[in-house]
Amino acid sequence: IVNDGGLSWLRKSYQRMKEQAEREHRDLNDLVVERYGSVEMFEQRLADAEEAASSALESFRSSSVESHSNHFFKPSEDDSRGENTKCRVYHAGHGGGLNTLSCAAPENDPRPAKLSTRFLKPGSDDEDSAPTWKQRSRPVKEVNSVKKQQENERSPEKIETANQGGDKAATTLERYCHLTGKARCQSFDALKSHLRSADWLIRSESESEVEEEVIPLLSEEEMNKIGAKLVKAEIMGNTAMIEKLKSQLEAAHKAKETHALQMKDNGLSRHDQEVLLFRTDQSGRAWPVAAPSATQEPHRGRKKRQQIETHVEGQRVRYFQDDDRVGLKEMVRREKMSSAQDQNALYSRMAAKMMGKTDGDNYTLDDMFVSSVAKKEGEGREEERMRNRAIGESRRLAASMDKCQHCFSSQELQKHLIVAIGSKVYLSLPAGVSMAEGHCLICPLQHHCCATGLDEDVWSEIQLFRRTLVRTFESQDLDCVFMETHIYPRKQKHMVLECIPLPRELGDMAPIYFKKAIMECDEEWAMNKKVVDLSSKDIRQSIPRGLPYFAVDFGLQGGFAHVIENEQKFPPYFGKEVIGGMMDLEPRRWRKSIRENFDDQRKKVLQFAQWWKPFDCTKAGTS
């Protein structure tokens, strides 16, 4: 609504906050505090808007009355007709139709009533719709008698519609008719617009009365403020204020208890969860994020940052804003707790947002960077960036673990495919069609991303499962290949060590196939060694932590590893593609997992369990 002081906008905002609170099962007061700072501020803004809207409505009333009296009436010296004038007013009723209050001239008025003939319903009396010269030709008594008859016929309708409209609507309309009683109502559009505003005022008054009856829920901060006022009033000895504040506190506590019981009955009780924020670099090192050391300044938009004082009497005293309060110990801590990505991000910000003009030899690019870092930055801005990065990493990790199909505690894990469970590792079969009979997976129970970041006890148990699988397949006159692909480290996928059995002949040729495939994969010009030999050292001692890699081992012998340079050019099914080419399988067997029904999965689990049972390393006394 135009010129209402923002009242309609605040009401829509309040309605949206209510819908959001119901949708997210949150407290309405918390949302109000997030958007407006406190509940008191929002109530103050709402009260100011209502006051502005009411003043605007009063001014509209006075102006509309003056305009009606000036526009619709002929001035006369002796005008006592307004006291006896009845007004017909059209307004919207509850049924969607137009309710009517009549407005007609008195009987002794010789002038014709043009308004009454202009807005009557057709059909009942056609004489009223006759031209003006015909009406003037009729006697005045005849016209008045016809009008009385029409009013008597329509009086039940007026009573019924007035009852449906409500007492407040009738009171407002009578007040308006009394204000305009000195004249005839001849503008239907003006009356209709005025009544719409009056109807809006009635609704706003009723809504405000309902809101006043409901006791608002106060936040802890607001209740603490009331408690502080209560203590101050007790010190001052103001008994009236003490009783008032005590009643407010008691009402707030009761409202809070009632709200908690309602939430509990609806099953919508909210539990706050505390999460430890930490950062993790590419090498797998993790450290907690420090709490803000100082009060953070609010963001000031695009306001130009001020230059700090870097020189005193021609001598440089500082380079950065915090040089005076940062010691060597703090600088070492920051260096250890920052990663290469942080340095790259800092350089990108300096190059993108702080770029200035250079002046040849007098003001070079280095001078521009030195002067740009000497500008003031808000307190705690860097800590806020670190905290936001930690929150993003925590959310990504939580989302990855919720959707993980290999975490032992995840609901996505198909537990009917598990064959053996150790203390740190479990053995299962793939959910899709296997590459070969006996294709199995070794996975850690917890969410670990790669072998280079495993603890020693987890790694030793994986090696125990490897030895057991080699003995199992040797009993079936088969060889086996172990493969691991660690790609897209930022997605933090679960580590999976795949074991695929091969015939003896293909097992002997497997190192040649894999070495040739690794030499031809990925980028032609690589920054790392193309093929890393794992015969003398395992993957943890050969590949630095944090790098994406592909590793393959042939039985209990060593194998090869490759550092992935370009993740877009290296397929995640690289190892299975090589084995599929060796075994002459269809590409759909390794490109995308083919679903298997439950009966086929149960059959292959039972078959593999018979092979595994004589060599089960999870049983006591088996090594």
Find the mean pLDDT for residues 78-99: 43
Confidence of residue 188 (pLDDT cuts 50, 70, 90): very low
What is the average pLDDT score of the chain?
74
User: Is beta strand 425-428 parallel, antiparallel or unpaired with respect to 286-288?
Assistant: unpaired
145-149, 223-227, 437-441: least confident range: 145-149
Query: Residue 167 pLDDT > 80, yes or no?
Result: no
Confidence of residue 267 (pLDDT cuts 50, 70, 90): low
Predicted local distance difference test score (pLDDT) of residue 96: 41
Find the mean pLDDT for residues 431-436: 93
C-alpha distances in Å from residue 565, one per residue of 86, 487, 530, 548: 91, 10, 10, 8
Model pLDDT for residues 207-242, shown as the tens digit of each residue: 444 444 456 777 777 888 888 888 888 888 888 888
Of 152, 73, 141, the residue nearest 109 (C-alpha): 141
Confidence of residue 254 (pLDDT cuts 50, 70, 90): confident
Label each residue of 499-560 as H, E or C.
Answer: EEEECHHHHHHHHHHHHHHHHHCCCCCCCCCCCEECCCCCHHHHCCCCCCEEEEEECCCCEE
Query: Residue 204 pLDDT > 70, yes or no?
Result: no
Token pair of 363, please? 């003001």
Model pLDDT for residues 512-540, shown as the tens digit of each residue: 999 999 999 988 888 899 999 999 999 99
DSSP string spanning 360-382? Answer: TTTB-HHHHHHHHTTB---TTHH
Query: Residue 95 pLDDT > 80, yes or no?
Result: no
Residue with tokens 């692909």: 485
Query: In this predicted model, which residue has the larger pLDDT, 20 or 623?
Result: 20
80-89, 187-196, 611-620: least confident range: 80-89
What are the φ and ψ backbone dihedral angles of 100, each rounded to 5 degrees?
-125, 135
CATH code given to domain 404-615: 3.30.428.10
Query: Residue 39 pLDDT > 50, yes or no?
Result: yes
CB 494 within 8 A of CB 506: no
Query: Residue 496 pLDDT > 70, yes or no?
Result: yes
Predicted local distance difference test score (pLDDT) of residue 228: 84
Token pair of 14, please? 């309040």
Number of other CB atoms surrounding residue 440 within 10 Å: 26
Element (DSSP H or E) covering residue 484: strand 479-486
Whether the full predicted model's pTM is greater than 0.75, yes or no, is no
Query: In this predicted model, which residue has the larger pLDDT, 161 or 223?
Result: 223
Residues above pLDDT 70, as percent of the chain: 62
Q: Which residues of 581-598 are buried (b: 16+ CB within 10 A; e: fewer)?
A: ebeeeeeebbeeeeebee
Predicted local distance difference test score (pLDDT) of residue 120: 46
Query: Residue 192 pLDDT > 70, yes or no?
Result: no
Predicted local distance difference test score (pLDDT) of residue 7: 78
Query: In this predicted model, which residue has the larger pLDDT, 93 or 454?
Result: 454
Give CA–CA dist 455/90, Å, rounded: 83
Give CA–CA dist 351/374, Å, rounded: 15
Query: In this predicted model, which residue has the larger pLDDT, 79 or 316?
Result: 316
Token pair of 498, please? 């795949």
